[in-house]
Amino acid sequence: MTPFRHGRSIAALTLLAFYCACSGGGSGGSTGPKPVASVSVGSSTTTSVFIGADITLNAAAFDASGGPVAGQTFTWSSSNPLVATVSSTGLVTGVAGGVATISAAVGSVKGQTTVSVSASPTQLLCSSVTPLALNVGEVHQLSGLERSSLCVNGGAGTEYALIAFNTSLDTTTTASPVSLVATNTGFTVNAPNPVLIDAGPHNAPRIVPRDVEFETRLRATERRELNPMFGAARDWYANRSRAIARPRGFSAITGLGTTPAIGSPVSLNGNGNSACSNVQPHGATIVAVSNNAIVAVDTLAPPNGFTTADYQNFAATFDTLVFPLDTLNFGAPTDIDNNGRVLLFFSQLVNQLSPAGASSYVGGFTFSRDLFPLVNTGNLAACAGSNMGEMFYLPVVDAAQLYNGFFKSKDTVTAQIFTTIVHEFQHLINGGRHLYVNKTSTRLEESWLDESQAMLAQELLYYRVSGFAPKQKLTWPAISTGANANGTQLGIVKSYLVQGLGALNSYLLFPETSTPYNNTENLQTLGAGWQFLRYLLDQSPGTSATYTRAIDNGVVTGFANLENVFALAPSGLTALYQSWAIAQYVDGTGLPAAAAYSNPSWNFRSVLPNALNLQAYPLKVRQIATGIPASFALRGGAAAYLRFRVSAGLTGQITPANNNPASTAVGYFLVRTF
């Protein structure tokens, strides 16, 4: 045992000696790192960089004896940020030709290196080409070498907007990245600026948006569960005399007479989340019947709501306003229940779809499942949840706010009821005609186009009530002053127009990530889809109703439907989307641009900010100036807007960062604005 103890003693003495040496040997020594005496800065590759490109510099700290001092945080700086900038991690970006000293410091101890910045071979092209010189208002599409090196003549001082648009019709794949750098460009100082014309009162209400997520889920459910049932359902419609079996206690619309008596009971499936399963029968009572409408009210609706006279007025207004408007513009609805009418079902079930505290509301809906038969009969498609008739689901007055605070008064419900009905009636017509009337159609319309038509229906209702019409280039003074038999023009704007403008505002705030043809809809899609369809109609010859009826009567869907209706090749439709994207910026500015870059029906720069009490026209615009690169990603159908100035005597240049051009699907358009 003695040798073992002896070994331990030797090891202990050795460790003790090592510890004493490292700590300085005295009782007052420190065990922490030595102070930083010097800093070195360098790169493992190069200290030269092209304009718009990046290199990474490394920094290291050392003590007085040259030993490394780990764990230091460096403060980076550039002696000339107009030549090269540096990030907090040592990433150096070339901005303009020249030399800059890049430093890294720990406290007062600094190290540095020199970085030279030069133009790449591509960027030197401006010395060998004739720079572009456009007239004010001229639009030029970039092609060839211009896409990798855009050279612009400054003249006596010129300003431009560069518009990038992703022409891809696929919105589901990864967005196309775009990164641009500029030399000899600066910030714009001239118009076009947002147009705010204070020619009338504002007092715009706070806009509470519709719950678009609910609508998205509903339309996705329709297409997922109902599209496979198309052929069989059409066969049934041609032989409607067959007897229909219904689940016990579930009468559906077909249980009513052709002209039901006031007070008649009916049981309706109120499930707004499932198409054909989980039937939830709810008792209702018929309270009004008109030429085109039947009004039923849920027997469990809260008290102190609409009166019988109110419901009769809804039916009458549907007859005189909504029914003729939508049937003129979209076609006649089907009549699978053989009563010649549409059922308006007012139920607290709709109120319950918006939980207390929600930031958006469900104002009502139509469900294509109600156009399907209830049971399989031979080649007959079955949907056990169908109410077997044309109908809408609408909210009731909730005076006690049992469900939420959205519909606590009659005025609140009434203010939005007809924009909801006119919107949902288009869906009903569209679904019925694709299902039963268009004999070779094999599916419901794509959600984005169906919603574009429904948003257009809301705009058409505004025209009908206000007395205005499309292609009148309406401005805020025109629509905010005066009155007609339906009330003040400002009140009509609030009741019928602000919801659509609110959706458009959402799109303009995010044009780089939003698209008019996105099946996973949001407010941006609703706003962009409506505006593009209005643009397309206004740019086409003939009456708008001819086209909108043809869309609802389409035997194909989506882009193919638009190409058929407007007699367009795919490239022609793409060109129209591009022109529409340019119009977002150019229209309403006073620039002498071609008619293809205008919205004949609206001056949105005037109407939208005033109607919504905004401080400016909300279109997102970037500045791209020397030293300020622009990087973003564009989805299919999305656009980016970049402004820049070229001073007198200079040639401005814009190139892809790191000489890495964007996808060929991204088109670039240069507009001279000053």
The alpha carbon dihedral of 62, 68, 74, 79 has a sign of positive
Residues 6+ apart with CB under 8 A from 196: 606, 609, 610, 615, 616
Q: Beta 48-50 vs 109-118: how paired, if at all? A: parallel
Section 569-575 average pLDDT? 93
**pLDDT tens sequence across 48-94:** 888 777 899 999 999 988 899 999 999 999 999 988 899 999 999 88
Between CA 419 and CA 332 the distance in angstroms is: 19
- Give residue-wise pLDDT tens across range 388-405: 899 999 999 999 999 998
Per residue in 363-422, pLDDT tens? 999 999 998 877 764 444 678 889 989 999 999 999 999 999 899 999 989 988 999 999
The residues with which 497 forms a beta bridge, in sequence order, are none
Mean pLDDT of 572-595: 95
Identify which of 285, 282, 250 has the alpha carbon closest to the alpha carbon of residue 265. 285
* pLDDT for position 6: 38
pLDDT-based confidence at 124, cuts 50/70/90? Answer: low
Residue 588, by phi and psi: left (phi above 0), alpha (psi -120 to 50) or beta?
left
Its pTM stands at 0.80
Q: Contact 84/78 with Cβ under 8 angstroms?
A: yes
The one-letter code for the residue type at 640 is A
Find, among 341, 335, 279, 288, the residue nearest to 316 by Cα: 288
pLDDT digits (tens, 9 = 90+) for 274-315: 888 888 889 999 999 999 999 999 999 999 999 999 999 999
What is the SS3 assignment for 404? coil
Q: Which of 441, 454, 392 is nearest to 237 (CA)?
A: 441
Give residue 629's identity as a one-letter amino acid code: P
75 or 130, greater pLDDT? 75
Tens digit of each residue's pLDDT (9 = 90 or more) over 188-240: 988 775 444 444 445 555 566 778 888 888 888 888 888 877 766 656 566 65
DSSP notation for 518-539: -SS--HHHHHHHHHHHHHHHHT
Residue 5: the pLDDT is: 38
Residue 531 structure tokens? 């505006």
Q: Report residue 577: phi and psi, to 5°.
A: -60, -40
What's the rounded Cα separation, in Å, for the pair 222 and 430? Answer: 13
Q: What is the mean pLDDT of the chain?
A: 86
| Confidence class for position 601, pLDDT limits 50, 70, 90 | very high
Tell me how far CA of residue 558 lies from CA of 423, 449, 664, in angstroms. Answer: 19, 6, 23
The DSSP result for 225-276, as a single string, is HHGGGHHHHHHHHTTTTS-----TT---GGGS-SSPPTT-EEEEE--SS-SS
The DSSP output letter for 312 is H
Q: Which two tokens stand for residue 394?
A: 């609408």
CATH of domain 38-118: 2.60.40.1080
Q: Alpha helices of 435-554 — where are they, by DSSP H?
A: 447-466, 476-480, 489-496, 498-509, 523-538, 544-552
Residue with tokens 């030279």: 116
Structure tokens at 215: 């609508």
pLDDT of residue 199: 43
Report the candidate in 156, 152, 165, 146 with the shortest Cα–Cα distance to residue 190. Answer: 156
| Cα–Cα distances in angstroms (integers) from residue 186 to residues 80, 183, 453, 652, in the given order | 17, 9, 42, 9
Separation of CA 247 from chain center: 42
CB distance 660 to 125 below 8 Å = no
Token digits of residue 435: 């299902």
- When pLDDT is averaged across residues 324-340 and rounded to a whole number, the result is 94
How far apart CA 140 and CA 150 sit, in angstroms, is 11
Nearest to 373 by CA among 389, 357, 395, 352: 389
- The total number of residues shown for the chain amounts to 674
- What is the residue type of 319? D
Contact indicator for 53, 658 with CB cutoff of 8 Å: yes
What separation in angstroms does the CA of 355 have from each of 154, 219, 361, 409, 416?
A: 57, 20, 8, 17, 18
Ramachandran class of 252: left when φ > 0, alpha when ψ lies in -120 to 50, beta otherwise: left
| CB 387, CB 428: distance < 8 Å | no
User: Tokens in use for 137?
Assistant: 């208002």
Instruction: Name the residue among 154, 164, 156 with its Cα closest to residue 186.
Output: 154
Is the CB of residue 373 less than 8 Å from the CB of residue 229?
no
Does the pLDDT at position 316 exceed 80?
yes
Residue 318 DSSP one-character state: I
Residues in a beta bridge with 132? 152
Q: pLDDT category, 18, cuts 50, 70, 90?
A: very low
Task: Kindly tell me if the per-residue pLDDT of 142 is higher than 90.
Answer: yes
The whole-number average pLDDT for the span 332-343 is: 92
At 31, is the pLDDT very low, low, confident or very high (cuts 50, 70, 90)? low
Round the CA-based radius of gyration of the chain to a whole number and report it: 34
- Of the listed ranges 273-282, 351-360, 435-444, the least confidently predicted one is 435-444
Instruction: Count the alpha carbons within 13 Å of 539 in the hemisphere toward its beta carbon.
Output: 22
- Token look-up 């090592």 returns 18
C-alpha to C-alpha distances, 284 to 295, 300, 341, 420, nearest whole angstrom: 10, 8, 17, 21
- Residue 513 DSSP class: T
Task: Report angle CA 58, 62, 67 to the nearest 5 degrees.
Answer: 120
Least confident range of 38-42, 269-273, 435-439, 510-514: 435-439
Determine contact, residues 113/42, Cβ cutoff 8 Å.
yes
Tokens for 206, please give them. 């706070």
150 in Cβ contact with 142 (< 8 Å): yes
Q: Quick one: tokens of 462? A: 């505004």
| Closest CA relative to residue 263, chosen from 243, 247, 285 | 285
**Residue 340 CB: number of other CB atoms within 10 A?**
13
Domain boundaries, the chain: 38-118, 131-193+620-672, 212-605
Tell me if 264 sits within 8 A of 295, measured CB to CB.
Answer: no
Instruction: Report helix, strand and coil shares of the chain as percent, to nearest 5.
Output: 35, 20, 45
Q: What angle do CA 76, 82, 88 make, to 5 degrees?
A: 20
Judge whether 82 and 70 are in contact, CB under 8 Å. no
Helix (H, G, I), strand (E, B) or coil at 413: helix
Q: What is the pLDDT of residue 434?
A: 86
SS3 422: helix
Alpha-carbon distance of 579 to 252, in angstroms, equals: 48
| Backbone torsions φ then ψ of 47, nearest 5 degrees | -115, 25
